[in-house]
Structure 1
Amino acid sequence: MKVLPEEPGWPRSVALAAVAVVCAVLAALTDGPVRYLAGAALCLYLPGRLAVLAMFVDHASPDRYLRAVLIGPLSLVATAAAGLAVAALGRGFRPVPVCATLLAQCLLLAAVSIGRRYRDSPGAPGFWRPGVRPRWSWLAALPAVALTGVLVWQVAEAARYRSPESYYTELAAADPGTVRVRNRERTAQDYRLEVRQDGRVTETTEFRLEPDGVRLVPVPPEGAEVRLYRNGETAPYRHLRL
């Protein structure tokens, strides 16, 4: 691997941190193309660029092409981590909390970059300078490992996903003189079942079913219309003619 001089010092980290602040403000408070451009920089460039500055500060720094390749994956990992943090806190995926989380990441990475450069500078106190400088090239594998973890998590979530159309209430004839109501919704539901004959309501039954719960209701074997209402709705959710 070709080795180049270390990345420029702390002024670049400070400048990128200032750009991150501006992009976060624009993405959170504006709209239209300005928000999209600022958000793209905040999600796809700045975290990875600052991470590279924080990772490679000594003679073990890889060439500029590898550093450029690392910016994209590291930015995606940082953005995914920010999304997980926002989801865990229950703040909702709104511009302000997402931009604030990404900005906090960028500022933390900038602080790490500046701190490591100060530690390695000739004028730093002795306790800041390590005796042996570790090689950080192995950290180049971290984006692939992190992205693989995110991919596995997303695949697991997709395997558990059910479309809204897959949640419903089943109304069907079970045996002669019986109808079956099965709750296939996500949550418990309140039902009202009406039996009509010749346009008149002859019987009403109210009940509550938990998810996957089943209720068998006796009805006349022939000539009846069964209407099922859900959660106090005035229009029938299901109807069945026997």
Structure 2
Amino acid sequence: MKKTLTEIHFSKNDRLFVLGDSIDHGRFGFDVLLYLLKTLPDAGYHVTVMMGNHEQMWSELASDGKTDEEQLSNAIGTIDIYEGAPPNGWQYSIENWKKLSVTDRQFLLTEMNNNFGQPEQLIEKIGNKWVVLSHSAKMSLSYEKEKTKDLFWEHLPGDSFERRNSVAKAVGVPNTDVQVFVGHVSGFLFGKHRNYICLDNTIVNGTLEQFEAVPVKIYCLEQEKFLG
């Protein structure tokens, strides 16, 4: 992650948006969160971290208990039930979690239980365009009607302009001035569409020609280069 931020020349003039699922995908997920939530902001960088379903699951798992000792014991006990093969990448996260200080664990739990201080969905104006940022989205609903589970858990359905139309109507602009970005699930499951960009792994083998609202440059972590 640090190498990528250097490669894209991330500076204090930029804004970094993280669309969830920062944990459970490797051995340092909570170190990543601490870096995003504390280290970078304390150094004057602008970072917005959003909740994903993995953070939601972990906050529920690791909050069970009145003290840090009880919470840690209960989390370990729950994961041990799976006998070495826990789901959702928890085998990585529990080892990372145990190595954190009590202060860091409580800080992260407080942040996760508070959705990192962010709404589940952000609508931001960038230049003269509008972007909608969320971990996921139930595209068949307008953005006002979505509930938390629709943003953390729902897989994206087929091509639908309802989301973009809904946001465009709310902010009073043409729908071509709105671009939706989501994470959570691979676009391979539903194809590529102009009305939203899936930032899971669709971009690795996709093209950027269909993204009409916001000029986009995608940096691919696996290929370590910009696409488009």
TM-score (norm. length: structure 1): 0.20
TM-score (norm 2): 0.21
